Amino acid sequence: MAKDGFVFPVVRLELDFKAPALHDDLLSVFTKPTRVGGSSITMNQKIMRKVDGKLLADGMVTLACISPSMKARRIPLGIRQMLEKELECGENEQD
């Protein structure tokens, strides 16, 4: 994406640690969009221990869409549509 003029730095991160991971633990990270704005994306992330499914960390991360010269940019249409589709799927799962 950077070669196309889009960069997505983390601008906010909130993370709750629930349990420790150990040195050789295999982990799974699950990411779901929770909000898609004009030039930012907020996603929920869950980190789980693969062997027992125990939740180790739960957080929210916000990414901004910027140009390589650090100016805000609108999220490209294709990415926006993909994220909005995932957002709709998540809302339907809660029904």
Residue 40 structural domain = 2-94
| Helix (H), strand (E) counts: the chain | 1, 4
Tens-digit pLDDT profile for residues 46-78:
999 999 999 999 999 999 999 999 999 999 999
- pLDDT reported for residue 32: 94
pLDDT band at 20 (very low <50, low <70, confident <90, very high): very high
Number of domains within the chain: 1
For residue 43, the surrounding DSSP H or E stretch is: strand 40-49
Residue 81: pLDDT band (50, 70, 90) is: very high
76: domain CATH number is 3.10.129.10
Quote the pLDDT of residue 88: 86
Q: Is 80 helix (H, G, I), strand (E, B) or coil?
A: helix
pTM: 0.82
